[in-house]
Chains A and B, each alone.
Chain A
Amino acid sequence: NAGVTQTPKFQVLKTGQSMTLQCAQDMNHNSMYWYRQDPGMGLRLIYYSASEGTTDKGEVPNGYNVSRLNKREFSLRLESAAPSQTSVYFCASRLEIAGAYEQYFGPGTRLTVT
């Protein structure tokens, strides 16, 4: 049982390049999330997916696209990377039992855009 896994762990991009961050969970959770973490800002929600094939924007969605092709995987795509997207990205899935909601986080991807 690996929990939530993310690839890659580190990435350096040049401005304008594209890339996809991968996330997978093996806990059979319906909901999955992408957050970004910036110094002094805590974590902020980029996108949310309630189930396969559905996605919703979070607080900071600009410059990102997501894809939830199946229950396990939720990917985040940067079409044209900008220095402002330098951040640490965390994926999470959510246990949903009434009265006991808890998110499980992946180890993070450190992205630098130069």
Chain B
Amino acid sequence: AQSVTQPDIHITVSEGASLELRCNYSYGATPYLFWYVQSPGQGLQLLLKYFSGDTLVQGIKGFEAEFKRSQSSFNLRKPSVHWSDAAEYFCAVDGGGGADGLTFGKGTHLIIQP
């Protein structure tokens, strides 16, 4: 069965500093990987996705993520965070078969310090 681990429950970053959110997955083949962001009381917004090809993917709002097969990781990065980036971030994996749906990590809560 596929699984996703986000090791950091909370992360605090100063505004303007760089950010890296960690995501590790467990899946037998190459998965389809996603990062979502959720602001308080809101729905899910897709930040970026990896299907195949270039292992560095660019997303919206200045985010990027790198797929590393050898480390089973798909970490999310941003060079300079803004106060508006404060939110909950979810990493998710789709095994391709459909029946398992998306398997989500438990999320990382990002706090931005002024």
A binds B: yes
**Residues of chain A at the chain B interface (Cβ within 8 Å):** 31, 33, 35, 40-45, 48, 50, 56, 58, 90, 92, 94, 96, 99-103, 105-108
**Residues of chain B at the chain A interface (Cβ within 8 Å):** 4, 9, 32, 34, 43-44, 46, 49, 51-52, 90, 92, 94, 96, 98-107
Q: In terms of DSSP, what is the predominant structure of the interface of chain B?
A: loop
B32 contacts A101, CB within 8 Å?
yes
A100 contacts B98, CB within 8 Å?
no
Nearest residue, chain A, Cβ from B31:
A101
Which residue of the partner chain, among A43, A56, A101, contacts B90 with CB atoms under 8 Å? A43
A112 to B88 alpha-carbon distance, docked (Å)? 21
A-B pairs under 8 A by CB, number: 62
A90 contacts B51, CB within 8 Å?
no
A2 to B90 alpha-carbon distance, docked (Å)? 24
Shortest distance from the beta carbon of B45 to any chain A beta carbon, whole Å: 9
Given contacts A90-B44, A100-B51, A107-B43, contact A45 B101 (CB under 8 A): yes
Given contacts A41-B106, A42-B106, contact A105 B44 (CB under 8 A): yes
A37 to B32 alpha-carbon distance, docked (Å)? 21
List of B residues within 8 angstroms of A44 by Cβ: 104
A58 to B9 alpha-carbon distance, docked (Å)? 25
List of A residues within 8 angstroms of B99 by Cβ: 48, 50, 56
A31 to B96 alpha-carbon distance, docked (Å)? 12
Given contacts A102-B49, A105-B44, A108-B43, contact A96 B105 (CB under 8 A): no
B106 contacts A40, CB within 8 Å?
yes
Nearest residue, chain A, Cβ from B97:
A101
List of B residues within 8 angstroms of A100 by Cβ: 32, 51
Interface contacts beyond A94-B98, A101-B94: sample of 13 additional A-B pairs, CB < 8 Å, sorted by A: A41-B106, A42-B4, A42-B105, A43-B102, A48-B99, A50-B99, A92-B101, A100-B51, A101-B96, A102-B32, A102-B46, A103-B94, A105-B44
